[in-house]
Structure 1
Amino acid sequence: MALSMLLPLRRAGAATLARASARLATAPPRTMPLAAALAGRRWASSQPAAPDEADVQRLAKLRNIGISAHIDSGKTTVTERILYYTGRIKEIHEVRGKDNVGATMDWMDLEREKGITIQSAATYAQWGDTNLNIIDTPGHVDFTIEVERALRVLDGAVLVLCSVSGVQSQTITVDRQMRRYNVPRISFVNKMDRAGANPRRIIDQIRTKLKMPAAALQVPIGAEEAFEGVVDVLSNKAIYNRGARGEDVVYEDVPAHLADAVQAARDELVSVLAEVDDEIGELFIEDRAPTTEQLHDAVRRATIARKFTPVLMGSAIKDKGIQSLLDAVVRYLPTPTQVRNTMLDLDNNEQVMDVVPYSNQPFVGLAFKLEEGKYGQLTYIRVYQGTLERGQFAYHVRSGKKVKISRLVRMHSNSMEDVDRVGAGEICALFGIECASGDTFTDGKTNCSMSTMFVPEPVISLSLTPKDKNSPNFSKALNRFQREDPTFRVHVDAESKQTIISGMGELHLDIYVERMRREYGVDCVTGKPQVAFREAATQKSEFAYTHKKQTGGSGQFGRVIGYIEPIDPEEQAELPHEFVSNVVGGNIPTQYIPACEKGFLDGLREGFMIGHPIVGMRMVLQDGAAHSVDSSELAFRLATFGAFREAFRASKPRILEPVMTVEVSAPTEFQGNVLGSLNKRKGLIVDTVTQEDYCVVTAEVPLNNMFGYSTELRSGTQGKGEFTMEYKRHAPVLPDVQDELIKEHQKKLAEKK
């Protein structure tokens, strides 16, 4: 049975990823101190040279960070302020601003029209003497691969939370991704100017929903419309933003009415840190107050170890709190040398090796994102060790090809700056390199491969038909989008011959269909894919069929007698159909028996109810007749086909549809919604298990009723529900559904005539 359109496709290299995951599972955490992480481990080169002092200083002043959050939490607005205060841009533009310019990092027309981030965008800036590589990521769950690959190459992240909505569904997803790649984070409670702002509740949600110890480093001065600034708990200073765009940071004494709240916040910070940091824990037990510097150091240690997240607050849209956030990024997030990255030694049975993050080592880089630029394919590279220089040669590990680096750029949204050299720990982009997302490049001295990123399976599919079927751009666009986005899959269904596109959600696929129209001039029509129905007999049916045709000269004659009967295709999986010849006496010459079997197989290939394959059939040929002149292989093949058609129609046939095992997980508060939606789709509930605050519902649901379910599930569970689906068996459709399917098929046949 051709179920290619039903079952998730596996990406090439899944076995390698599984092996890599197993090896890396036993490796020390990514953010261990470098000396401890490398103790007793293999180095990337046999005798690594001592790092250059200038390179050590450069890396100490480098941060690779991402801005991640649930949709509409203000990530892009925060990034826009960061670029403004660091001097990268001269004017601030809003995501949906009235000037129709749009935020710097949302450079695609679709992003500016819809007011959402679709593609992650990279940029760089400088805060004081620290260089920042920044990636702004989408918040919508449909574009989760953009977050996935950004976090794969980043050393730290800023988790933005709405002061009203708090921890939402995609916040939980982003938290899971950060844990997958061991990325430390700073939490920033945004939108403090909104009605209902409550940072206290958000901190509690971080602790309970994300299971991450957290404490505030700041106390807000006012809230909602009265939000004026924050008090830094450690320095005991009030921080205000003055000037037209908040560019002037003013430090003042703590307002008298907030003195007790600030002291309480400091005590709580010490209490939380005492549970996750040994030094503060000892001071706490001895009832000694830690110094401000000791608290700074403890916050940094606990944050890098991913045992704690410091919480800051502000309002990006009101230009408040961003400079303090930048100070915290520099102070608390790790440098590239404080993050442990590993690779697999391909010459030594994929043994785990440690990346040495210095520029005087052999070059190793990971291509983590592809993008079609004005000058060809743009490949984003994170340089993990060594240097990358314009004009040098690099080796593509997967293909073994040697490629020349003809142009090297640093990205600022969709604009770029040419550079001659990029050192370890940096993020850059290359032109003219043919590769796939997740490929490793080296200088040829080290035959190794970085572990690839996690790619979630698609959850929704659509059929796609171009209006102009002769357009060469249709396949060109699909090939490009597949290279850019590992979660976007394309295949042609063997039965329906439809082009099927699969992705993470309806918005995900709609965006690509719209991009095909805008970027390639290809208008497409989308529709629900044709489901792989089957046809089957329900009872034994006899036949006695004669095929004769006289056209002058020798004609065609063949007579077959016997019966057909249903068999259980699941019990006889190795032989889903069977042809048996019990003809004796030579009534049908032996040389024509194979032709009779071919006629039977012809009938199975395309059914007589709705044109889908027939399954679970046995045909027994008992007798027949032949003519010495007019009989031939073709005559008996046509006779058997006609006999099978008549017998099948008399066997009370039925249509079978694929039934899927659907497993839905959602918070227990939405269990009723989940059960109701599955029942509405004619699902049979098989099992329900409650685990802590989550429930897992297993059901058997017809595939034909499952299209659009991902959107319904998200809306019914506030985006917190997830589901998996796999083929179970084919089962009979209801009588009214069968009648409707037959009418539709007959209508299509009439339209073709």
Structure 2
Amino acid sequence: MATLDTLLAKDVKKRRTFAIIAHPDAGKTTLTEKLLLFGGAIQMAGAVKGRKAARHATSDWMEVEQQRGISVTSSVMQFEYDGHVINLLDTPGHEDFSEDTYRVLTAVDAAVMVIDAAKGVEAQTIKLLEVCRLRNTPIITFINKMDREVRDPIDLLSEIEDILKLECVPITWPIGMGKTFRGVFSLTKDHLVRFAPGEDRLSSNQELIEGLDNPRLDELFPMEMGYVRESIELIKGVSNPFDIKKFLAGEQSPVFFGSGVNNFGVKDVLEALVQWAPEPQPRDAGARMVEPTEKPFTGFVFKIQANMDPKHRDRIAFFRVCSGRYTPGMKVRHLREDREMKIPNALTFMANDRVTMMDAVAGDIIGIYNHGQLHIGDTLTEGEKLGFTGIPYFAPELFRSARPKDPFKAKQLHKGLKELGEEGAIQVFENDLGHLFLGAVGFLQFEIVAQRLATEYKVDALYENTDVSTARWLSFPDELTQKQFMDEQASRLARDADGNLVYLATSIYNLQTTQKHWPQVQFHTTREKNQHFS
């Protein structure tokens, strides 16, 4: 019988944990659903079609997402495929929620980048890839919507390489586009599997056509094959072969073409994740690197989500396991609070459907019922003092003040905003007078927070413009400097949800002037979750 170490290593090796990143409307949520469909995790795909949709995407579970037809939270889904356990994290596509996306990307080992074949590389794609670069995250590229009138595949590859500085290696190649899109030819397997648009799975009698020069291809696609062969010959001449080491270093990306809505190319992406994406990797825990196959249990909270179940007003902490094995009822050390806590009933997810998790190892994402004791960035271990790094907060650039329409609901407003702040939906700052300031990356965050306060906390509030234009976290060389600064700048100071001191500037000029007058004080645009300022 295998020892625990051998079993643990074997289970870790099966894990694949990845996120899907894309610019809004590139088809990310559709691809998410189709991966679940091909993985056998769901039986029927529902499409996100906006307000009048009869069904909504499995991953878009929040009411406001279903109304708007966009993803604004991050969902976690686990399923098995080809002997592997796949943890798929669907990130917000909307740019206003980039902070939530960043935190999700700290919890994965690889990413699938979805590109709209008609639009090419877009602004949010550039930002998200920069985030992946910070961790050298391996990227698989899926060029989507080939069933529409799109740009030339060679031009798309050139654009990805030029703008994203990411070497592309095509693994499949499209046959036609738009109304004449016929499918994709595998360059590595040298065959085409005929797959009717919209079919959920490959049936046993699917036609397999071997070889690019096979006359059967000309019978089926007489108008397309000449250009396809010419393009493939050209691309083979200028592309480097796929190099797994360069891929794992985040330098080279295998590229797949397809149509998520028609299921073309989806299975190829799933197989690439299983074959090439890395198993869980070592993690920087501050004091040392933690290996995924170590026996002691460790991990960190990367997301808090309140009210996933409207009937039970619950809060779930999404926790990435970094080493060891979770077992129900186990006791761990909550390092920020320096106390022991029990994890009685951890969860795994299929969007909002939850199942009690009986076993989890490195790479898995578990949900922990949270009554306010867990915050984003918290580390749990079996005793060792560690603190996983790389989970930052960014200084917001948009601000509103908030006060309840009904003064008797001030406490409810404070409670609601505190919880939404802890889950990362918005940043909340409070000054000495008890005034609340909301800080956001994008305007949509304010709308979502207002709607959630109204529906989940039954608080209608007034959101008003403020004289705040930007914020900076502060650190001081000594207590005397801190006291002098706080006395002089009292009207411009507030504290964030974790009690850190923040300077609220009225303008960049105001900020620069203050910095000039106080050169010994440090003004920070970001802070690490486990980094505390005065």
Give the structure-1-normalised TM-score: 0.58
Amino acid at match of 1:252: I
Pairing 1:566-645 to 2, within 5 Å after superposition = none
Distance apart, 1:266 and its partner CA: 6.4
Match of 1:321 in 2: 265
Q: Report Cα offsets for 1:209-264 as digits up to 9, x if no partner.
A: 11111121111111011112000111111133237534226432442463774576
Q: d(CA) in 1 for partners of 2:237 and 2:249?
A: 17
Name the structure 2 match of 1:82: 35
Gap change, CA 1:390 and 1:378, over 3 Å in 2 = same
Hey, what does 2:225 align to over in structure 1?
Answer: 258
Corresponding position of 2:437: 500
1:299 correspondence with 2:243: yes
Aligned position for 1:399: 337
- Per-residue deviation at 1:53? 3.2
Verify: 1:522 aligned to 2:426, yes or no.
no
Quick check: 1:165 aligned with 2:119? yes
CA distance in 1, matches of 2:426, 2:452: 16
Q: Is the 8 A contact 1:217 1:233 kept in 2?
A: yes
Matched, 1:509 2:446: yes
Partner amino acid, structure 2, of 1:161: I
Matched, 1:370 2:308: no
Q: 1:493 to 1:259 in 2, by over 3 A?
A: farther
Alpha-carbon distance, 1:452 to partner: 3.7
Counterpart selection for 1:357 from 292, 314, 321: 292
Q: Give the match for residue 668 of structure 1.
A: none
Letter in 2 for 1:660: S
Gap regions ≥5 residues in structure 2: 219-223, 470-483, 493-504, 516-534
**Which amino acid is the alignment partner of residue 324 of structure 2?**
G
Tell me, in whole angstroms, the C-alpha distance in 2 between the residues paired with 1:429 and 1:261: 47
Cα distance in 1 for residues equivalent to 2:337 and 2:237:
53
Report if the CA contact (8 A) 1:367-1:440 is conserved.
Answer: yes
Is the 1:216–1:265 contact (alpha carbons within 8 Å) kept by the matching residues of 2?
A: no
Give distance in 1, aligned partners of 2:96 and 2:291.
35
| Alpha carbons 1:344, 1:449 under 8 Å: kept | yes
Note the 1:191-270 alignment, pairs <5 A.
Answer: 191-242=145-196, 245-248=199-202, 250=206, 251-253=208-210, 254=212, 255-256=217-218, 258=225, 261-262=228-229, 265=232, 268-269=235-236
Structure 1 residue 342: Cα displacement: 1.8
Question: Aligned pair in 2 of structure 1 residues 227, 264: CA closer, same or farther (>3 Å)?
Answer: closer
Structure 1 residue 493 displacement after superposition: 7.3
**In 1, are the aligned partners of 2:137 and 2:249 still within 8 Å (CA)?**
no
**Does 1:390 find its partner at 2:344?**
no
- Cα 1:152–1:448 shift into 2, 3 Å: same
Residue in structure 1 matching 2:103, options 141, 149, 154: 149
1:436 paired with 2:375, answer: yes
The answer as to whether partners of 1:215 and 1:269 remain within 8 angstroms in 2 is no
Deviation, 1:272, is 3.6
Distance in 2, matches of 1:371 and 1:531, equals 28
8 Å contact from structure 1 (residues 217, 269) kept in 2: no
Q: Which runs of 4+ in 1 moved over 6 A?
A: none
1: CA distance, partners of 2:317 / 2:200 = 36
**One-letter identity of the residue aligned with 1:308:** Q
Q: How does 1:665-676 map to 2 (within 5 A)?
A: none
**Which residue of the partner structure matches residue 12 of structure 2?**
59
Structure 1 residue 58 displacement after superposition: 2.5
Closer, same or farther: CA 396–311 of 1 in aligned 2, 3 Å: same
Quick one: which amino acid aligns to residue 80 of structure 1?
A: E
Query: In the alignment, what sits opposite 1:96?
Result: 49
Aligned residues: 466
Q: Name the residue aligned to 2:71.
A: 117
Q: Larger relative CO (CA 8 A, sep 6+): 1 or 2?
A: 2
Aligned-residue offset at 1:332: 1.9
Q: Aligned ranges for residues 14-29 of structure 1 at < 5 Å?
A: none
Instruction: Note closer, same or farther for the CA distance 1:531–1:267 as it changes in structure 2 (3 Å cut).
Output: closer
- State the match for 1:640 in structure 2: none
Residues 65 and 155, structure 1, Cα contact 8 Å, conserved in 2: yes
1: CA distance between counterparts of 2:234 and 2:12? 34
Q: Distance in 1 between matches of 2:198 and 2:225?
A: 27
Displacement of 1:421: 2.2
The offset of 1:51, in angstroms, is 7.2
Task: State the identity as a percent.
Answer: 26
Contact kept in structure 2, 1:478 and 1:490, CA below 8 Å = no
Residue 199 of structure 1: CA displacement? Answer: 2.5
Asked if the contact 1:489/1:503 (under 8 Å) is kept, the reply is: no
1:104 touches 1:413 (CA, 8 Å); kept in 2?
Answer: yes
Q: Deviations over 1:658-692 (max 9, x none)?
A: 8733xxxxxxxxxxxxxxxxxxxxxxxxxxxxxxx
**Letter matched to residue 122 of structure 2:** Q
Pair 1:331-2:275 in alignment: yes
The answer (yes or no) to whether the contact 2:12–2:361 under 8 Å persists in 1 is no
Asked if the contact 1:219/1:262 (under 8 Å) is kept, the reply is no
| 1:485 aligned residue | 424
Contact 2:468–2:506 (CA<8 Å) still a contact in 1?
Answer: no
Aligned to 2:387: 449
Task: Classify the secondary structure of the residue corresponding to 2:406.
Answer: coil
Whose radius of gyration is greater, 1 or 2? 1
State the distance in 1 between where 2:9 and 2:233 align.
Answer: 34
1:442 counterpart letter in structure 2: T
Cα offset, 1:270, TM superposition:
7.1
Structure 1: gaps of 5 or more residues: 1-48, 274-294, 346-352, 533-572, 578-604, 607-611, 613-657, 662-699, 704-725, 731-753
Q: Is this contact kept in 2: 1:240–1:320, CA < 8 A?
A: no
